[in-house]
Amino acid sequence: MGKKDRLGVGLGLAALLLGASRVAAQGFSGDVAAGHAWLNEGGSLSSFSTQYNQGEGAFLENLLLEWRPAPGAAPRFSLKAWSLGDPEPDHHARLVFAPARTWRFNLGYDGRASVFSLMEPPEDHRADRWTIERWSAEAVYDGWNAARIALGLRHSKRDGQVDRVLYGLNELYPMRVDLDESYREVTLRVETRTLPVRLFFEQSLGAFERENRWRPLGGRDLSGTDPDLLSRLETSRKDEIDVPTSRLGAFYRNDRWDVAGTFLYSRSDLDAAGSTWRTFDIAGGSTGQIAYLDELVGSASQDTLAGDLRAAYRLTDAWSLRLRGAYRKSQSDSDLVGRSLLHVGFPGIPGLDFSVPVDERGFFDVTDRSASLEAAYEGRRFGAWGAVFGGSRAVDWRRTTDGGLRSADRDSSGYRLGASWRAGRRLTLSGEYERGTFERYVLRVDPETVDRLTLRLRSRLDSGWSFSLHGRFERTDAPASQSGLDGRSDAFGASVAWDDPKGRGGVALEVDRNRLRSRTDIVLPDRAADLSIYDLGLWTVGLRGYFTVGRLSLDGSILRVKDSGHTWPSSSWIGDARATVQGPKGTRVSVFAQRREYDEDRSSQDDFQVTRYGIVFGWRF
């Protein structure tokens, strides 16, 4: 039984024991629901696990246990948990304990199981199967009138396996990475309560460690035809990163002013050391061996300084001004020293050694600045706003000790205009146009100009009906002298919904269309000119509803997603249905069914059709 299974069973038993009627009479109340799920599989189960990673078996759907010293009082003890057990990919639990008015203790748990396994071309071979668990604990003291003090701890750990390929001797060899990664952090936070300006200060110290290990998978190349074998693949490398971070915030508000400012400073230090061995048996070892050994020691540091200021000033009841400015500077330095050794010979017999020293130093510095000023008018029926904004990015870097110093600067500016109109509570219309221009690009996907138009309509009709329309249209481009970028992005849709005024039912229909096309000039490794094209044509149609008749409640949804673009056309169906019957003394029973279908036009290897169904028993006490 895994850790998450023991946790789920333990929490479930605790709820069943403490939730008895005699405990409820002592101030405890809660809710527990557990069930079992089954799967009917068709097609690629690995593709289904990659997208959903849901399984079959017993699970704890929900747990809530609270204790109040008196009816209507705030809970002094609260335990919440949901989605525990192997059938669910994500697991969560929260514990809050307040023994006195001035103290509160929080404990949290979040777990996730991730799978990636698709039938891809050999050169893109990759498979992931790992889990990550995050624990958090916090103690809060609220007995001081001047300030609130909190001490927090966090710990996360990721383990599992990642399969990928190693390129060696002009062939691709499958390899496995055994993950061993962890992160720990302690945080002290102080927040004022009585000053005219509310202040908070937070100091944290984080430590990240990585000791992943490598090994070959079988030794043969992916094709299975090359006689050379990968006989040894190991690493003793260990990475350690310390991340101290200081945060300071100030907030002020009165009848006219609303001001918020934040400041952050962080200096992270990386130390990495270890050796890596790669040994190839030529012709299975009958001809000889080629071994590569890297013995390297690396270090890096990154200083980050960031600040943000937001201010709003109300001129009159209808007119206001908003100002925002941001600054961020990051300076990174790296060093790598050691040697790379090539050994050629036979096992157990001295051969030839070729050694190359490694002594590389580089840096990468980025400075970002941005500012905006907006004026807004908000009347009873009509509203309008306009803004101007600008920014800059400066990048300086050197990749190696002997490499040249490179730098790039990029300035941007633009404006935004918008208006809204309301016809009482029944109808609201709004529209906004935004244009941004950039002097030059840092990355080839950076545009020179961006034009964006956004339109919205919302209507609330009689008898619980509502209707909405929305559209967003964007154009990006850059001249051929830079990158020849030409992008078009259109997203629009409509929704109609009905909710019973008495809360006994409702239904909603949503239709969305997303069209994205981009063309960018590129240069291939052989310096030949080419064109990168991405084309997405997505239709999304969703229908959901819920109804309650006496002790029976029904809810369900169905979603159809179809991508007709030329890049990777595909379609999927997502359906969920659930029926719940309320029983005596707070009991209930639910049955559910889920349908997942996925189909790719160009290949059927990753297609699947999966039905998941089950039963859940619940009890509220």
**Cα-based distances in Å from 183 to 133, 158, 279, 353, 371:** 10, 9, 32, 39, 35
Domain ranges of the chain: 127-370
Given the structure tokens 């600054």, which residue do they identify? 327
pLDDT band at 527 (very low <50, low <70, confident <90, very high): confident
Residue 545 has pLDDT above 50, yes or no: yes
What integer pLDDT is reported at residue 167 of this predicted model? 93
Measured CA to CA, the distance from residue 489 to residue 592 in angstroms comes to 38
pLDDT band at 529 (very low <50, low <70, confident <90, very high): confident
Q: What confidence tens digit (pLDDT) does each residue in 88-114 have?
A: 999 999 999 999 989 999 999 999 999
Question: Are 227 and 220 in contact, with CB atoms under 8 Å apart?
Answer: no
Hey, which residues does 271 pair with through a beta bridge?
Answer: 240, 299
Amino acid at 352: L
Question: Nearest 5°: CA angle at 455, between 451 and 461?
Answer: 175
Measured CA to CA, the distance from residue 305 to residue 365 in angstroms comes to 12
What integer pLDDT is reported at residue 392 of this predicted model? 95
Question: Are 162 and 138 in contact, with CB atoms under 8 Å apart?
Answer: no
**Residue partners of 278: CB distance under 8 A and separation at least 6:** 166, 168, 230, 232, 233, 291, 292, 293
The structure tokens listed for 490 are 């259109």
What integer pLDDT is reported at residue 480 of this predicted model? 60
Residue 525 has pLDDT above 90, yes or no: no
Q: Which of 168, 174, 105, 112 has its CA nearest to residue 140? A: 105
Quote helix, strand, coil % in the chain, to nearest 5: 5, 70, 20
pLDDT band at 521 (very low <50, low <70, confident <90, very high): confident
Q: What is the pTM of this model?
A: 0.87
Range 207-231 average pLDDT: 95
Range 23-51 average pLDDT: 89
Lowest-pLDDT choice from 18-22, 157-161, 176-180, 410-414: 18-22
Question: Are 420 and 378 in contact, with CB atoms under 8 Å apart?
Answer: no
3-state secondary structure 337-375: EEEEEEEEEECCEEEEEEEEEEEEEEEEEEEEEEEEEEE
The whole-chain average pLDDT of the chain stands at 92
Give Cα 554 to chain centroid, integer Å: 32
Measured CA to CA, the distance from residue 265 to residue 50 in angstroms comes to 38
What integer pLDDT is reported at residue 444 of this predicted model? 63
Q: What confidence tens digit (pLDDT) does each residue in 437-484 have?
A: 987 766 666 788 899 999 999 999 888 999 999 999 999 887 766 666
| 242 φ, ψ (degrees, to nearest 5) | -105, 130
What integer pLDDT is reported at residue 561 of this predicted model? 97
- Largest alpha-carbon pair distance within the chain? 91
What proportion of the chain, given as a percentage, has pLDDT over 70?
92
Question: Are 559 and 598 in contact, with CB atoms under 8 Å apart?
Answer: no
Q: What confidence tens digit (pLDDT) does each residue in 170-193 have?
A: 999 999 999 999 999 999 999 999
Q: What confidence tens digit (pLDDT) does each residue in 275-316 have?
A: 999 999 999 988 899 999 999 999 999 999 999 999 999 999
Hey, which residues does 201 pair with through a beta bridge?
Answer: 190, 248
CA atoms within 13 A on the CB side of 381: 4
Query: 576-599 as b/e, with b when 16 or more CB fall inside 10 Å?
Result: bebebeeeeeeebebebebbbbbb
Residue 61 has pLDDT above 90, yes or no: yes
Give Cα 303 to chain centroid, integer Å: 24
Measured CA to CA, the distance from residue 430 to residue 419 in angstroms comes to 6
Given the structure tokens 């639910």, which residue do they identify? 590
More confident residue, 65 or 9: 65
Q: Which of 229, 207, 227 has its CA nearest to residue 218? A: 229
Residue 445 in 3-state DSSP? coil
What integer pLDDT is reported at residue 619 of this predicted model? 97
Measured CA to CA, the distance from residue 89 to residue 74 in angstroms comes to 32
**Cα-based distances in Å from 330 to 204, 205, 304:** 19, 19, 4
What integer pLDDT is reported at residue 1 of this predicted model? 43
Alpha helices, DSSP H only, in 39-113? 45-51
What proportion of the chain, given as a percentage, has pLDDT over 90?
78
More confident residue, 233 or 26: 233
Residue 573 has pLDDT above 80, yes or no: yes
Measured CA to CA, the distance from residue 406 to residue 394 in angstroms comes to 11
**Cα-based distances in Å from 226 to 125, 169, 173, 565:** 18, 10, 10, 38
Measured CA to CA, the distance from residue 96 to residue 19 in angstroms comes to 17
Given the structure tokens 């809360």, which residue do they identify? 503
pLDDT band at 317 (very low <50, low <70, confident <90, very high): very high
What integer pLDDT is reported at residue 253 of this predicted model? 96
Measured CA to CA, the distance from residue 556 to residue 593 in angstroms comes to 9
